[in-house]
């Protein structure tokens, strides 16, 4: 809008229709109306109030950006400032931003909608930039296959993967006997050290000398001595030995056994002690340990019951009639009874004479008299 500050009087009148030039400074003391005011400096018509979109600005801060309020007023926001280079705003919502984002930080990773080139990502060891793509940099034992990161396992490494976990798998190791080899003292074993809580190794030599050899009971005594279990291991005695070269068992002492069976010749170089029992009751049944039965018949007749012949094959018995009263000549007889078998050809055998005896032996079916002394 152009203003003319007039001084002095204006001579003449203003022509309302023709062009007219007014020289000098003019001062108007009342309202001037016109259809158009023209700015000669700008060489364009002057704007009027109806031509101005914003007539009032609310607020104020240097470099503040105006926002239109919709009623010919605008607000200059203190938190929306542009100094010609930098736009300063607290929150920004934009459909698209282009240009360098080197000064942008704290952007949540899940807010990116497209891939980020690897050269814009700071990465540490184990990763690398391959033509703008971030990839795993495989080291020893790691491989990239079909876009996946995997462990590069040797088929004979002794390891396998089950349920996404790495396991020690002995079945995946090579057999030690392959190529004609075998175990050696310096071969290694893995040991879970409970006290240290870690995995250690040991040689077979160390395992044997410092553990197995200590735990296994040692043989006691000297050469050829038979081992006897004791409370804490083995014991031995020089009185009980076995000579393997001569196939000879040596016992210097007493042998106590319910039964001894010899399938070959039985040779005794020394005294032989056999069981002997004296009886005087009217009936006596021979026991498992009896060999010689002395029957004292001074007071009464004695019936001796033999064991079943079928259970006594080879057994020898001696039955002798005694009279312990030397002043009594006559005494009672002995009746020997064989149940379910015979003695020679009879069921019973009678011994009448004092100090007479019979030697009987079973063949597994019957008893036979193989020795007679007296009647």
Domains of the chain, by residue range, sit at: 56-82, 187-216, 223-261, 276-373
Please say if the pLDDT value at position 148 is more than 70.
Answer: yes
Q: Which helix (H) or strand (E) holds 349?
A: strand 348-351
Work out the average pLDDT over 53-80.
84
CATH 2.60.120 fits 276-373, yes or no: yes
What's residue 196's pLDDT? 93
DSSP SS3 for 51:
helix
367 exposure class (CB count in 10 Å sphere: 0-12, 13-18, 19+): buried
What's residue 1's pLDDT? 42
Q: Give the pLDDT band (50/70/90) at residue 276.
A: very high
Is residue 306 within 8 A of residue 353, CB to CB? The reply is no
Please say if the pLDDT value at position 87 is more than 80.
Answer: yes
The least confident of 107-111, 176-180, 190-194, 276-280 is 107-111
Of 69 and 307, which is predicted with more confidence?
Answer: 307
306 exposure class (CB count in 10 Å sphere: 0-12, 13-18, 19+): buried
pTM attached to this predicted model: 0.43
Of 253 and 52, which is predicted with more confidence?
Answer: 253
The least confident of 47-51, 96-100, 153-157 is 47-51
The least confident of 77-91, 101-115, 189-203 is 101-115
- Alpha-carbon distance 360 to 348, whole Å? 12
Of 185 and 117, which is predicted with more confidence?
Answer: 185
φ/ψ of 58, rounded to 5, equals: -95, 135
What's residue 11's pLDDT? 54
Could you tell me what percent of the chain has a pLDDT over 70?
91
What's residue 369's pLDDT? 96
Least Cα distance to 343 among 357, 318, 322, 361 occurs for: 361
């Amino acid at each position: 809008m152009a203003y003319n500050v007039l001084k002095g009087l204006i001579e003449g009148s203003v022509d309302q229709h023709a062009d007219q030039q007014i020289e000098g400074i003019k001062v108007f003391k009342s309202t001037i109306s016109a259809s158009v005011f023209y700015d000669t400096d700008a060489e364009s018509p002057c704007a009027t109030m109806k031509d101005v979109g914003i007539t009032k600005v609310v607020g104020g801060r240097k470099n503040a950006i105006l926002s239109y309020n919709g009623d010919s007023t605008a607000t200059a926001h203190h938190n929306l400032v542009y100094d010609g280079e930098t736009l300063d705003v607290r929150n920004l919502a934009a459909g698209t931003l282009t240009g360098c984002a080197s000064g942008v930080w704290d952007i949540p990773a899940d807010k990116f909608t497209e891939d980020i080139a690897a050269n814009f990502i700071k990465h540490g060891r184990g990763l690398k930039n391959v033509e703008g793509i971030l990839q795993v940099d495989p080291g020893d034992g790691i491989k990239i296959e079909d876009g996946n990161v995997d462990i590069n396992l040797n088929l004979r490494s002794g390891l396998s993967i089950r349920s996404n976990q790495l396991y020690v798998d002995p079945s995946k190791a090579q057999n030690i006997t392959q190529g004609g080899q075998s175990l050696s003292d310096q071969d290694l074993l893995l040991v879970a050290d409970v006290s240290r809580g870690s995995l250690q190794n040991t040689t077979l030599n160390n395992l044997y000398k410092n553990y197995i050899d200590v735990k296994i009971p040692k043989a006691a005594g000297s050469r050829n001595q038979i081992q006897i279990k004791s409370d804490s291991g083995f014991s031995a005695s020089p009185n009980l030995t076995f000579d393997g070269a001569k196939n000879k068992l040596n016992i210097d002492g007493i042998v106590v056994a319910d039964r001894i069976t010899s399938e070959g010749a039985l040779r005794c170089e020394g005294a032989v002690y056999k069981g002997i029992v004296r009886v005087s009751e009217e009936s006596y049944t021979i026991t498992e340990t009896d060999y010689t039965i002395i029957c004292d018949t001074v007071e009464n007749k004695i019936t001796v019951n033999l064991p079943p012949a079928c259970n006594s094959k080879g057994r020898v018995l001696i039955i002798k009639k005694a009279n312990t009263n030397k002043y009594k000549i006559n005494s009672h007889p002995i009746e020997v009874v064989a149940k379910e078998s015979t003695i020679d050809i009879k069921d019973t055998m009678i011994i009448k004479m004092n100090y007479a005896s019979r030697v009987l032996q079973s063949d597994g079916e019957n008893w036979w008299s193989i020795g007679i002394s007296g009647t």
